[in-house]
Amino acid sequence: MAEEIFQASTLNVKDLKKQKNRILTLVNRAIREKNDADLISLTKMYALLYSAYAETSFLKLIHTPKAFSESEISQIENGRNLEEKWTKCVEFAFKKLNSDANLGEIANKKQTLRRILMEYIIEPSQIRNKVAHGQWIICLNNNCTQVNNDITLKMQQLDFVRIDRYFSIYEKFQQCILDLCVSQKTHYRDYYIIITALEKYIDSTKSWSLETKKQKILSSQKHQRYQMQKNLYNRNID
């Protein structure tokens, strides 16, 4: 059963990544053409795609062959909420390390992953849930009895670059967990490389925004050539 779910999730993740690249292409085009209406629509679609990717890739992770036992998978899936499911997933991953591993090093790794988990996966999951339920402008509380102003504000601040950053962090974080599960003999080397790359990415992209992306695209030589060709074409038509 686990193998079947893994294979299905693998195909789903592969297709979602394909659609992700298509949306990226369309977003860049919308920015070059200064089509804000299309950019807003594509951002909403990208948020919905990220929500689907997060759920499907998590299924793929926990059902990866030789990663978790059937009992562990069951306990993860029976978690009361996303935080509990991910917490169990991380705990089980660390239990697979050799018993003679450095306890201080393990504690530091857990602390680092826990911090990233809460800030970049659990917290954004509130937005993911609202997106999945169609609350794209005004967000309600969990019981849908009144407006949730805090989440509504976060939804309004959500832009394409922030969602794209969540994509990258989520993917790198999952790789850290997978490495702990299936590469126990080399995880000390591989984990360090992966977690260092993840922390470096998080730090180097803190200042990224939709405006910086627009500036980068509109000031690029590729865009300048595109504008020259477009202007030349328009003059020939006139």
Q: What's the mean pLDDT in 56-73?
A: 94
105 domain-assigned: yes
Per DSSP, the residues of 66-98 read TTS-HHHHHHHHT-SSHHHHHHHHHHHHHHTS-
Q: Is residue 236 part of a domain?
A: no
**Structure confidence at residue 128 (pLDDT):** 85
Of 110, 71, 75, whose CA–CA distance to 90 is shortest? 110
Q: What is the pLDDT of residues 138-169, one digit of tens each?
A: 999 988 999 999 999 988 888 999 999 999 99
Q: Which domain holds residue 158?
A: 2-231
- Asked if pLDDT for residue 209 goes beyond 80, the answer is yes
Asked whether the predicted pLDDT for residue 233 surpasses 60, the reply is: no
Whether residue 199 is contained in a domain is answered as: yes
CA 222 distance to own-chain centroid? 28
CA distance 42 to 27: 7
SS3 219: coil
State the total domains in the chain. Answer: 1
Confidence class for position 110, pLDDT limits 50, 70, 90 = confident
Instruction: Assess if residue 216 is contained within a domain.
Output: yes
Mean local confidence (pLDDT), 192-213: 89
| The pLDDT of residue 129 | 87
List helix spans (H) across the chain: 2-32, 36-62, 70-77, 82-95, 103-117, 123-132, 149-157, 160-182, 187-204, 210-218, 221-237
* 187 has a pLDDT exceeding 60: no
Q: Is residue 130 part of a domain?
A: yes
Q: Could you tell me which residues are beta bridge partners of residue 140? A: 147
Three-class DSSP category at 65: coil
Instruction: State residue 57's pLDDT score.
Output: 96
Burial classification of residue 191, based on how many CB atoms lie within 10 Å of its CB (0-12 exposed, 13-18 middle, 19 or more buried): buried
| Mean pLDDT computed over 70-91 | 94
- How many of the other CB atoms lie within 10 Å of CB of 147? 13
Higher pLDDT pick, 161 / 236: 161
Q: How many CB atoms lie within 10 A of CB 3?
A: 10
Residue 71, pLDDT score = 95
User: Looking at the predicted structure, is the pLDDT value of residue 68 above 70?
Assistant: yes
Residue 237: pLDDT band by 50, 70, 90 thresholds? low
Evaluate whether residue 238 is within a structural domain.
Answer: no
Is position 178 within any domain? yes
- Residue 214 in tokens: 């627009």
What does the alpha-carbon distance between residue 16 and residue 12 come to, in Å, rounded to a whole number? Answer: 6
Name the band, by pLDDT with cuts 50, 70 and 90, for residue 204: very high
Residue 55 is predicted with a pLDDT of 93
